[in-house]
Amino acid sequence: MSDTEKLIGRGRRVLRTEAEAVAALEHRLGEDFAAACRLLLACAGRIVVTGMGKSGHVGNKIAATLASTGSPSFFLHPAEAIHGDIGMIIAGDVVLAISNSGETDELLTILPVIKRLGVPMIALTGNHGSTLSRYATVTLDISVPEEACPLNLAPTASTTATLAMGDALAIAVLEARGFTEEDFARSHPGGTLGRRLLLHVEDVMRKGDDLPMVGPATPLSAGLLEMSRKGLGMTTVVDESGRVLGIFTDGDLRRTLDRQLDVHTTKMSAVMTANCRVAQARMLAAEAVHLMETHRITSLPVVDDAHRLIGALNVHDLLRARVM
């Protein structure tokens, strides 16, 4: 067998071992899991996740997942906790403690303090008869038959199982809370989803002196100058009260040139596109993107309820805002 085949074989063995460890968890979920979820749902404070070593690294991720899905949470390092940080746990919190052996020294040191605080504790452990399990309000079994490590020493399958159990808790609680896409976006304002669900047209539109606008009787030549000055690839055509009558775009210009019209004598009302598509200021920027894509246009006037011009935007504004 070649070195390549050996390496691939080892990798497949690891993935198979870890997949089996996760699959085994499904059949263990019962009343204890439901009780753990109820503790998290009833938490009036924060969910404090703690664990040492590799369990701590997994705990950090579980805390981050909980926090981003509607359950305020943070990670507390047990070694720091025994030197003062235990004060971060207060009444109303719930502790989620992780230890495969259930006998991690640093974790055991803080268990009596947690008990005295009267804070409920959920244990994720592979040892149901451990000290951690005896202190816990609820214990979830994350034991695995073997690690993926050929020495059965390095935490591999056990940490994968722990991470999966943490995800199961977070998502079960998320659904029970009725957590929505909008809620998720508020936790991720810098991400693509956050921009898609939180950014409105008024946040990216041009306004004031940057708005291209002319009257219906304006000569086409003056309309072209307005387009050039404002750099939106279009100009709106508005009446005396500012109501949008139509729009004139680069596409309209090409069609006008094909008709060989005189730019000095032709009025904007004769070449504009009437009844054009418009956006509302409180419309999501993502909706404006959809409107442009559906109708194959690159610019939109923004109007108020009386159809008066209050803004404008084009595809480049949306690209800069990273909405598309």
Q: Show the domains of the chain with their CATH numbers.
A: 3-179 (3.40.50.10490), 201-320 (3.10.580.10)
Per-residue pLDDT tens digits for 204-240: 899 999 999 999 999 999 999 999 999 888 999 999 9
For position 197, what pLDDT does the model report? Answer: 62
Indicate whether 136 pLDDT > 70.
yes
Q: Cα 42 vs. chain centroid, distance in angstroms?
A: 24
Q: For residues 188 and 68, is the Cβ–Cβ distance under 8 A?
A: yes
- At 304, the pLDDT band (50, 70, 90 cuts) reads very high
Indicate whether 143 pLDDT > 90.
yes
Per-residue pLDDT tens digits for 147-170: 998 888 788 999 999 999 999 999
Lowest mean pLDDT among 8-12, 239-243, 258-262, 276-280: 258-262
- Report the Cα–Cα distance between both ends of the chain, in Å, rounded: 49
What is the side-by-side strand order in the sheet with 299-303?
A: 279-280, 299-303, 309-314
Burial of 219 (0-12, 13-18, 19+ CB in 10 A): middle
| DSSP state, residue 139 | E
Residue 243 backbone phi and psi in degrees, to 5: -75, 140
For the segment 246-250, the average pLDDT, to the nearest whole number, is 91
For position 181, what pLDDT does the model report? Answer: 61
- With a pLDDT cut of 90, the percent of the chain lying above it is 68
- Whether the pTM exceeds 0.75: the reply is no
Kind and range of the H or E element at 108?
helix 105-117
Residue 301 backbone phi and psi in degrees, to 5: -70, 150
Mean pLDDT of the chain: 90
